[in-house]
Amino acid sequence: MPAIGNILIVGGGIAGMTLAIASQRNGLRAEIVELSTDWSVLGVGISLQGPALRALRMVGVLDACIGQGFGYSHFKACNAQGEVTGTVELPRLNGPDYPAAIGIMREAVHSVLQTAVAKARVPVRLGMTIASIDQRDDCVIAQFADGTQGSYDLIVGADGANSSVRNLVFEGSGAPQYTGQAVWRATVRRQPEVQGRYSFFGPRSKAGFNPVSDTRMYVYLVQNLPRFVRLADNRLPEVMRGQLADFGGLVAVAREEIVDPRHIVYRPITSFLLPPPWHRNRVALIGDAAHTATPHMAAGAGLAIEDSVALAQLLQAEPSLSAALEKFATRRFERCRMVVENSFRLGEWEKNTHAPDADPVGVLDASLKALAQPF
C-alpha cells in the first residue's frame, strides 16, 4: 500500500503536472494549486532530450509531445559564420522508432500535460497559492490565500526557482543567484536546413537554433552581461538583433525576422542547488525549486520531469513517507548536482574563453553519457 493518500502540489507547471499524472497512475490522490489565473505559459520553445523523453514515456504522454514538436537526433557546433566545426549524434534512449530529442513550444508541452491532468481527474485550483503551512505529526495543513485551508499527507513545492514553498518552509536555504549571463529566445520561421539543434560561437556570445515544429524554430542567444539590465518590450527586437550582428550564415537570415517583441523572451540566467534533504517533515521540493540549472545543457526541464516520476514511484513503493522522501533525495541529488554544476561551468567558460581548463566538449559528452543512465 502507498505510504500516503493525498498530495497537494503547489505549482501547475511541467514538474507539478507530471507529478500529478504520475501520482494518479500510482494510486495516489493529488491536487494542484496554481498561481496563474489562466494557466498559461510564455510562448517560447524548450528542448527535451532523451532522459526527459524517457520519463515522459513512463507517464504516457511521450507520443503526444512528439506529435506537437520537432524530433531530431543530432547537435551541430558551428563558428560565427555558420561553418560546422563538430557534430554530436544524440542517443535514442527510447529506441530506434523515436527521436533522440525534440524541440517543442512550451505551450504545446503544457497543453499535452493539461489534457493528461484532466483525463486523470486531478483537481486544479487556478489563481491560488498557499499563505502558510502548519506541519503536524499526522498531516500538514495548507492555509490558502483565499482564507480556506486543507489537510494533506504531503505538500510538494513544484513552484519554480523562486519557490514560495521553499521560502515558507526551508528557512535559510538561499535563492538562485545571477550568473553574469542573460538568455534571449525569439521564435521565427524554421529554415529548411535546420534539422537539429545548433550552437554558433561568436566573438562576444553564443547563439543557436532549436526547431520546435515543421514551421517554427527559436533563435537563442546567451549574452555575457555582468549586471542584468531590464529593457522595455519595444526595445527587445532591436537590442537582440544588435547582439546577433556578429553572426553570418543562417543566423543572419533568422536575425532579420526578429521584429515582434511578443515573440521574444529575455531573462537573467540563475543557478541554485539546495543541499539534501529536499524535504522538511511533510513538505518536499522538486524541479527548479530544489535545483535551478542554467540552460547550457538544456537539461533543467528533463530533471524536473524525472523528479516527478521518481517521487511518485517512491511514494507508492515505500512503507513510510519519511523513507520515501529520504530515498528521493538520495536517488536524485548527485544527478541533479552534476547538471547544475556542469551547466554553471559551461557558462563560466563562455565568459572566459581563455580559461586554461576549458573543455566544454568533454564536459558535455560526459554529462550526456551520465544522463543516459537510468534515473
Kindly report, as residue ranges, where domains of CATH 3.30.9.30 are found in the chain: 177-269
* pLDDT tens for each residue of 315-361: 999 999 999 999 999 999 999 999 999 999 999 999 987 788 888 88
Answer yes or no: is pLDDT of 131 > 80: yes
Answer yes or no: is pLDDT of 1 > 70: no
What value does the mean pLDDT take over residues 128-138?
Answer: 96
* pLDDT tens for each residue of 254-288: 999 999 999 999 999 999 999 999 999 999 999 99
Answer yes or no: is pLDDT of 306 > 70: yes
Q: Which residues contact 73 (CB under 8 A, 6 or more apart)?
A: 89, 90, 92, 99, 100, 101, 196
Q: Please give the DSSP secondary-structure letter assigned to residue 135.
A: E
Query: How is residue 241 written as a grid cell?
Result: 538583433
Pick the CATH number of 177-269 from 3.30.9.30, 3.40.109.10, 3.40.190.10, 3.30.200.20: 3.30.9.30
What's the CATH number for 6-69+106-176+271-371?
A: 3.50.50.60
Asked if 46 and 301 touch (Cβ cutoff 8 Å), the reply is: yes
Share of the chain above pLDDT 90, in %: 91
pTM: 0.95
What gap in Å lies between CA 253 and CA 251, rounded to an integer? 5
Answer yes or no: is pLDDT of 86 > 90: no
Query: How is residue 192 written as a grid cell?
Result: 529548411
* pLDDT tens for each residue of 219-262: 999 999 999 999 999 999 999 999 999 999 999 999 999 999 99
Amino acid occupying residue 258:
I
* pLDDT tens for each residue of 30-62: 999 999 999 988 778 999 999 999 999 999 999
Kindly report, as residue ranges, where domains of CATH 3.50.50.60 are found in the chain: 6-69+106-176+271-371
What gap in Å lies between CA 336 and CA 161, rounded to an integer? 14
